[in-house]
Amino acid sequence: MSKSFKRGILGISMVLPSFLVLVLIVVIPIISSLRESLKNDKGGYDLSNYTYLFTDKLMRSNIIFTLEITIVSSILVLLISYSLAVYMRFNNGFAVRWIRRTYMIPIFIPSVIATYGLIQLLGNHGWMARILYHLGTDSFPRIIFDMKGIILANLWFNIPFTTMLLGSALSGVPDAVIESAKDVGAGRMRIFFRLILPLTFKTLLVALTFVFMGVIGSFTAPFLIGPNAPQMLGVSMEQIFSVFQDRQLAAATAFFTFLLCSFVGYFYIRSMIKEESVRSS
């Protein structure tokens, strides 16, 4: 056997285990869900479950509600996380040291415990509601158990990891490049939009992908502090499967959620392919 052939065999043998794991835990379940979602009550296959998914008023409201929360949460997480990362990268002092020591804490708190803490803090009779009531509000304010509560939970869960990811990218921006731009008279906004943002755009896209997929598939916080109707797709899927015992519609909901995530993943993969083609050219 030639040396190149042996290297090819070695490469395939190293990739094969991870490929098999990917097939078992991702590809096969996706195909199984698609097949299940196409079944109808008569034992045949059609698009009746997907038709119901988009024509039923409640299911449409669940889809819209999920997309609204996902888009708003993703934008807020990226804005806050990027601002924190930029502030920590280009500033020093007590505030920066304090942020660096504390912003990672939410990662180590289980989601159930964190959600329970939000209920105790922001519930209808929680600490914050009581403080606001004693400060002069007419009644206990409604802070969570609606869209606001789910968005607040998403900020708590996603900001630390996203800040860490973006901070790592910003640390790779050379100080010499920024100083050179300042020497030729570039202002802060020009430096940010012409240098810092382009150099960290790839990581920003990765962060957007992770946040979008994490929020759209979330269950714990939407189940505990979300409204009864409309519901996010994860909660709605659980209700359809466990309460109404409709496996086909639950599978259609799951596969539709996968398609939404794939839509965002497509732009990430496309940008990576373009970047690789530019490097190789």
Residue 236 vs residues 35, 61, 87: alpha-carbon distances, Å: 20, 11, 39
Residue 172 pLDDT exceeds 80 = yes
In the numeric block, the tokens 């990662």 are attached to: 107
- Domain assignment of residue 228, yes or no: yes
Q: pLDDT-based confidence at 76, cuts 50/70/90?
A: very high
Residues 24, 213, 67, 114, CA torsion sign: positive
pLDDT over 70, % of the chain: 94
Tens of pLDDT, residue by residue over 25-34, are 888 888 988 9
Structural domain includes residue 12 = no
Whole-number pLDDT of residue 280: 64
Tens of pLDDT, residues 34-61: 999 998 888 788 899 999 999 999 999 9
| Domain-located, residue 30 | no
Q: Which domain does 223 fall in, by range? A: 59-280
Q: What backbone torsions phi and psi does residue 39 show, to the nearest 5 degrees?
A: -75, 150
Using alpha carbons, list the distances in angstroms from residue 218 to 118, 180, 249, 272.
16, 44, 19, 26
At residue 69, the pLDDT reads 95
Residue 33 domain-assigned (yes or no)? no
CATH number of the domain encompassing residue 80:
1.10.3720.10
Has residue 29 been placed in a domain? no
Helix residue spans in 28-174 (DSSP H): 28-37, 48-55, 57-90, 94-102, 111-122, 127-134, 147-171
Would you call the peptide bond into 29 cis, given omega within 30 degrees of 0 as the criterion? no
- Taking the CB of residue 116, how many other CB atoms lie within 10 A of it? 15
Domain total in the chain: 1
Q: Tell me what pLDDT residue 91 has.
A: 87
